């Protein structure tokens, strides 16, 4: 895996992977950013959720469960001193499905967070307290 990151005299910073996909970064507004582009730490947090979501979708689909909607809400705490690493991250998975049970989602989330998701493993190995919880909702029938 390779990437190129460039700063061309003004924000945003542009990052490109080997396939040419672009990701934009800026510092927070209190450090000169516009507030319209994510910070590197925000992207890292989003990446952890996206990595796990990909796992969960794959596991649920292999169980032949239907996914109407899946959201992960992430809350984090960071160290007060530099480097301001994540000290606590909590993921709340909310699945809307006509046929998946809470046990199905909890199993998929557990496998992702304990075995498959490389980004959450990176958080854990850094000493971060990683927590997660799951909720399943049923789709609301459409009104005729």
pLDDT for res 128: 98
pLDDT for res 141: 81
Q: How far apart are CA 128 and CA 86, in angstroms?
A: 6
pLDDT for res 43: 97
Those residues of the chain that have pLDDT short of 70 are 144
pTM, full prediction: 0.92
Tens digits of per-residue pLDDT, 24-40? 999 999 999 999 999 99
Q: What share of the chain is helix, strand, coil (3-state, %, to 5)?
A: 35, 30, 35
Q: How far apart are CA 71 and CA 50, in angstroms?
A: 10
Q: Which of 30, 29, 3, 2 is nearest to 14 (CA)?
A: 3
Tens digits of per-residue pLDDT, 53-68? 999 999 999 999 999 9
């Amino acid at each position: 895996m390779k990437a190129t990151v460039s700063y061309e005299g003004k924000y945003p910073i542009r990052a490109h992977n080997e396939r040419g996909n672009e990701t934009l970064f800026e510092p927070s507004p209190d450090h000169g950013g516009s507030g319209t582009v994510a910070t590197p730490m925000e992207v890292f947090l989003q990446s952890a959720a996206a990595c796990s979501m990909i796992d969960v979708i794959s596991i649920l689909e292999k169980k032949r469960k239907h996914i109407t909607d899946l959201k992960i809400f992430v809350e984090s705490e960071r160290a007060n001193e530099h480097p301001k690493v994540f000290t606590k991250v909590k993921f709340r998975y909310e699945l809307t499905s006509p046929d998946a049970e809470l046990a199905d989602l909890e199993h998929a989330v557990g496998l992702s967070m304990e075995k498959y998701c490389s980004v959450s493993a990176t958080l854990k190995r850094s000493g971060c307290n990683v927590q997660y919880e799951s909720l399943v909702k049923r789709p609301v029938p459409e009104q005729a």
